[in-house]
Amino acid sequence: MKTKFTLVLSILSGAAWVGAQPPECTNPEADTLFNNVAGVSGNYKSLLWDVKALHDVIIDTMYIEFNSDRESTISIWTKEGIFKGYEKNENAWTQVVSDLVLKTGTIPETLFIPFKIEKGATQSFYVFSTGPELINYTQGGIEGSITAENDDLIMYYGIQKYGGWNADPHHSPRSLRTKLNYRRCDGATKSPSPGPKTESPTPKKTPSPTTMAPTTSAPTTTVPTTLAPTTTAPTTMAPTKVKDPCVNLTKRKCKNKCVFSKRQRQCLPKSTSFEHDCGQYEGKTPCLENKVCKFPHGKCIHRCDGKNVRRCRKHKFCILDKVVNPCFGCHLVTACGPRR
């Protein structure tokens, strides 16, 4: 269920959001996940990635870094589940930051809509930087592999788009340099402490010497002490063992609630100097003014888009990049999206 928000425009720094019911959070503990990567930066670019929560958390704000100390404009969206299959579907996402002008630093919490990620759930992030400054990120790695993690969150390598919602996704692994400021809500780091379990037998052993020596109540006390740990241990383990009906199914048997995906080899720009959002041009003339763009069938696209293995290897602007699909094989539709 989506929460309704009221948008208030700020004269100085973009949009401030008020009137939102704050997500419930028991035993909150503030923490940060720092994706400490570096390498490249870009302008008029979207970066998409997934984050998995190991405990209930609320994302309160994010840190954004540019390659200079001047102001730049960003927008941020989020959605439940993975981003794959929704790279151009704006209606599937919820905007949490709208055309915010800022310098390098943490977004004020008053300008960021907080959202909750439940334990075991995956949440997608979409950051669109329109410039004029370049936003910092890294390239390389493997799409879907881990780029940062702690006891509460796991952040995965995502992808980039050369532009906004109408731009086609380029599945060359990218990872934004950022910090996720959040609150851990279930007190999970403290709940599994073994202290109470070791203390429970001690009070049960103390009643045995209470001048009841003739009754020798030692056997009666030992029975409950052994039962207490054995009953609690299975209850914590039971929820973690959830059987996935799609695991190891062949493509032929991967049906109904499951979807089958195969590995892809993408033709991508050979270097950042050849990267460009060709989809921003509607006419043929402005499209062909950029050497990396072409205009087939009345649409401006990058020259590396859609090339097969042989033609990609021969093209001076392009390189064949092997992308590991995190949904390779048979997986639940709820995890990897419908067949495309």
pLDDT in tens, the chain (340 residues): 444 343 333 333 333 443 345 677 877 889 999 999 876 777 778 999 999 999 999 999 999 999 888 899 999 999 999 999 999 999 999 999 999 999 999 999 999 999 999 999 999 999 999 888 889 998 877 889 999 999 999 999 999 988 889 888 887 789 999 999 999 987 544 433 344 444 444 444 444 444 444 444 444 444 444 454 444 444 444 444 456 788 888 888 888 888 887 655 667 788 878 888 787 788 888 889 888 899 987 888 888 877 777 888 888 888 876 555 566 778 777 666 554 4
Q: How far is it, in rounded angstroms, from Cα 228 to Cα 197?
A: 8
Cβ 96 vs Cβ 78: under 8 Å? yes
Residue in the structure block whose two tokens are 């390498």: 39
Give the pLDDT confidence score for residue 187 in this predicted structure.
Answer: 56
Q: How far is it, in rounded angstroms, from Cα 178 to Cα 268?
A: 25
- Write out the two tokens for 84: 């794959």
ω before 219 within 30° of 0 (cis)?
no
- Write out the two tokens for 175: 């990872």
Cβ 121 vs Cβ 185: under 8 Å? no
* Burial of 273: CB neighbours in 10 Å, binned 0-12, 13-18, 19+: exposed
Going from the C-alpha of 236 to that of each of 41, 226, 242, the distances in angstroms are 44, 17, 12
Give the pLDDT confidence score for residue 240 in this predicted structure.
Answer: 43
Q: How far is it, in rounded angstroms, from Cα 330 to Cα 260?
A: 4
Partnered with residue 182 across adjacent β-strands are 31, 59
- Round the CA-based radius of gyration of the chain to a whole number and report it: 26
Q: How far is it, in rounded angstroms, from Cα 204 to Cα 195?
A: 15
Residue 242, classed as helix, strand or coil, is coil
- Write out the two tokens for 163: 């532009």
Nearest CA among 67, 266, 253 for reference residue 168: 266
CA 244, 331, 91, 121 dihedral sign is positive
Nearest CA among 46, 45, 79, 74 for reference residue 62: 74
Q: How far is it, in rounded angstroms, from Cα 338 to Cα 340?
A: 6
- Write out the two tokens for 221: 């006390």
Going from the C-alpha of 36 to that of each of 64, 102, 106, 150, the distances in angstroms are 12, 20, 15, 13
Q: What is the pTM of this model?
A: 0.54
Cβ 340 vs Cβ 261: under 8 Å? no
Give the pLDDT confidence score for residue 85 in this predicted structure.
Answer: 92
Give the pLDDT confidence score for residue 21 in this predicted structure.
Answer: 59
Give the pLDDT confidence score for residue 196 in this predicted structure.
Answer: 42
The residues, any chain, with a CB within 8 Å of residue 254's CB and separated by 6 or more, are 246, 260, 330
